Amino acid sequence: MRTKFCVANWKMHKTVKEALAFLQDFIPLVDEINDREIGIAPTFVCLESIGNALKDTNIKLCAQNVFYEKKGAYTGEISPIMLKDLNVEYVIIGHSERRKYFYETDEIINRKIKACIDEKLNVIFCIGETIEERQSNKTFDVLKRQIEKGLENINNPDALVLAYEPVWAIGTGMVASQAQIEEAHAFIRSQLKELYYEKADMIRILYGGSVTPENIYSIMNTENVDGVLVGGASLDPVKFARIVRYEEQRRNE
């Protein structure tokens, strides 16, 4: 059984004050839920105060990025040990915005994943194709390459969650169709099976890209979808709570 997982990726949004105000509204909307995991990934500067506010709640603290060295002369970077020290449980790695704007390669992503696993931090590993890649029928080639290179020499997948995020669906309002999601997730599962055999069945695969309360019901009811990684709609406490309470949203569709 794979426990469903709904993660808020706040990207570069919310000051500490705004983040705490969000939690005041959000926590009571989800506090009785215990059959799924909920995660929030605020900016680095909010991790400590948000972490404190999340103590004794059912919400997990997540980070949006990490560097792969333990410590040293790497101005501006944050190590897995530092995240662990703040009780971070999951780290998002390989998000397409990091690949695009910060030139993160599959090799860099692989080093980051390894560094987190070494420190016993769980990883949300993002993969996904661009619109050009999809239109030239390269989606599966891209996903295969991202998985093979990103997970090179990672022999134990226990700390891994994958997130399929088609780049063209992120922040665009152009959510992937149920058929596109199902096909991509099945392909990702098959690739994970080649690497991890029967252990692949335990790995959760999230969908990300223009998830809203209006489309969450059908996304969550798609084969091999074990949760969602949510950007824009996660900035609003009511919207994100509706996404977490996905089975109640059927009437919206």
Query: Nearest distance from residue 7's CB to ligand PGA, in Å?
Result: 8
Is 208 part of any known ligand binding site? no
Is 112 part of any known ligand binding site? no
Looking at 210, 215, 224, 249, which residue binds ligand PGA (CB under 6 A)?
210
Looking at 8, 9, 19, 23, which residue binds ligand PGA (CB under 6 A)?
9
Instruction: Judge whether 13 counts as a catalytic residue.
Output: no
Closest CA to 49 of 93, 6, 91, 14: 14
Query: Nearest distance from residue 73's CB to ligand PGA, in Å?
Result: 31
Write down the catalytic residue from 119, 133, 165, 185.
165
Torsion of CA 52, 43, 103, 176, to 10 degrees: 100
Write down the catalytic residue from 89, 95, 97, 129.
95
User: Is residue 184 part of the contact set for ligand PGA (CB under 6 A)?
Assistant: no
Strand partners, 93: 125
Looking at 39, 150, 209, 237, which residue binds ligand PGA (CB under 6 A)?
209
Q: What are the contacts of 97-105 at 24+ separation with CB within 8 A? A: 97/11, 97/170, 98/65, 100/167
Closest CA to 164 of 137, 134, 135, 194: 134
- Strands (DSSP E) contained in the chain are 5-9, 37-41, 59-63, 90-93, 122-127, 160-164, 204-208, 227-230
Strand partners, 124: 92, 161
Please identify, using beta-carbon distances, which residue of 108 and 170 lies nearer to ligand PGA: 170
Number of residues that bind ligand PGA (CB under 6 A): 13
- 206 by DSSP, 3-state: which? strand
Query: Nearest distance from residue 106's CB to ligand PGA, in Å?
Result: 18
Looking at 63, 143, 200, 230, which residue binds ligand PGA (CB under 6 A)?
230
Is 234 part of any known ligand binding site? no
Is 168 part of any known ligand binding site? no
Strand partners, 162: 125, 205
Residue 58, burial from CB neighbour count under 10 angstroms (0-12, 13-18, 19+): middle
Beta strand 227-230 with 37-41 is unpaired
Instruction: Judge whether 48 counts as a catalytic residue.
Output: no
Please identify, using beta-carbon distances, which residue of 191 and 210 lies nearer to ligand PGA: 210
Look up residue 129 and give its amino acid. Answer: E
Which window, 28-36, 128-136, 150-158, 208-216, contacts ligand PGA (CB under 6 A)?
A: 208-216
Question: Residues annotated as binding site?
Answer: 9-11, 171, 210, 231-232
Contacting positions for ligand PGA (CB under 6 A) = 9, 165, 170-171, 208-211, 229-233
Question: Residues annotated as binding site for substrate?
Answer: 9-11, 171, 210, 231-232
